Amino acid sequence: MTTAPSAELGRGPRLSLVVQREIARVLSPLSFAGIWFALRIVLGYRVDDLASARRRHREIRIRSNAPLLVCANHLTMIDSFLISWAMGSPFWFFLHFSALPWNVPERSNFAAATWQKLLIYALKCVPIERGGSRTEAAAVLARVAHLLRNGESVLIFPEAGRSRSGRVEVESAATGVGRVIRSVEGCRVLCVYLRGDHQESFSRIPARGERFHVAMSELEPKTDQHGLRGSRDLVRQVVRRLAEMEAEHFDGRQ
């Protein structure tokens, strides 16, 4: 059985994703409340101009029915929670559950213990092992492509890990993301740049009471190149856009 992103998923993996999605939906009032409480109350986080960010996401989402892959810069281990929070309110995501992005967390960080496995299962996650078997990575990318083709939103960090320099690194662009874009017809990319005021470099979690700035930009990457070069070209377009957004972020703060 092939597991390439361009291939259709087998019945088993398709069914398991449907079941996971429905379990996540049923549990979502609980998980949304828990995450909101942790981010907002326990950690005291704020997102600058949150309403505008959510409006921007809604505008991009309703502009087209084409698949929407969310690609973001990556500095902390809870970026995916912060980005989802910035993209929509818990109530809106409950009503538009497909818009709540699936995530592809690193297995050793988020799926080591049983409770972690259960938690990320209920949070629409498909874990991946960084630097692990390429066959397994391809199977995960095939799931991602399938989800996108079926109207689900997926969040991926195209740098394939938290930036060690604290800045967007174009050279770290993961070609697998380009493969997904290439294999999903008409795939749009929502580039999201998120950074806290005190986030100088990468870390496990942002400082308590942190204030975040978020920017969103829609991109439809295209390439004339084939094979791996095409995939690399596509993902580099995405990461370059993130780098431009980062430059705008710092220019705006001077």
Partner 1 sequence: MSSTDVFERVVKILTPYVKNQAALDTVARETHILDDLKVNSARLVDVVLEFEDAFDIEIADDDVDKVETVGDAIDLIESKTA
Q: Is 170 among the residues that bind partner 1 (CB under 8 A)? A: no
- Residue 35 CA to residue 37 CA, distance in Å, equals 5
The answer to whether residues 196 and 210 touch, using CB atoms and an 8 Å cutoff, is yes
Q: In the complex, what is the shortest distance from the CB of residue 56 to partner 1, in angstroms, rounded to a whole number?
A: 30
What does the block give as tokens for 184? 């999903």
Single residue of 40, 63, 222, 229 touching partner 1 by CB under 8 A: 229
Q: Which of 154, 174, 194, 215 binds partner 1 (CB under 8 A)?
A: 174
Contact 124, 20 (CB under 8 A): yes
Q: At 175, list the tokens.
A: 């070609």
Residue (54 or 179) nearer to partner 1, CB = 179
Count of residues binding partner 1 (CB under 8 A)? 25
- Which is closer to partner 1, CB of 114 or CB of 133? 133
Cα 151 to Cα 225: distance, rounded to the nearest angstrom: 27
Q: Is 252 in the site for partner 1 (CB under 8 A)?
A: no
Q: Residue 107: which H helix or E strand, with range?
A: helix 107-110
Residue from the set 57, 61, 74, 232 that interacts with partner 1 by CB under 8 A: 232
Query: Is 172 a binder of partner 1 (CB under 8 A)?
Result: yes
Please, which residue, 86 or 145, has the CB nearer to partner 1? 145
Rounded-to-integer distance, Cα 213 and Cα 77, Å: 17
| SS3 at position 48 | coil
How near is the Cβ of 239 to partner 1 at its closest, in Å? 11
186: left (phi over 0), alpha (psi -120 to 50) or beta: left
Question: Which position among 182, 188, 236, 241 is part of the footprint of partner 1 (CB under 8 A)?
Answer: 182
- Residue 223 CB, shortest distance to partner 1, in Å, is 13
Residue 6 interacts with partner 1 (CB under 8 A): yes or no: yes
Beta-bridge partners for 102:
154
If one asks whether residue 179 binds partner 1 (CB under 8 A), the answer comes out as: yes
10 binds partner 1 per the rule CB under 8 A: no
Stretch of 45-53, 54-62, 196-204, 220-228 lying at the interface with partner 1 (CB under 8 A): 220-228
* Distance of alpha carbon 202 from alpha carbon 131, whole angstroms: 20
Show contacts with partner 1 in window 81-140 (CB under 8 A). 130-131, 133-135, 137-138
**Is the distance from CB of 218 to CB of 241 less than 8 angstroms?**
no
Q: How large is the C-alpha radius of gyration of the chain?
A: 17
Residues contributing to the site for partner 1 (CB under 8 A): 2-6, 130-131, 133-135, 137-138, 160, 172-175, 179, 182, 226-229, 231-232
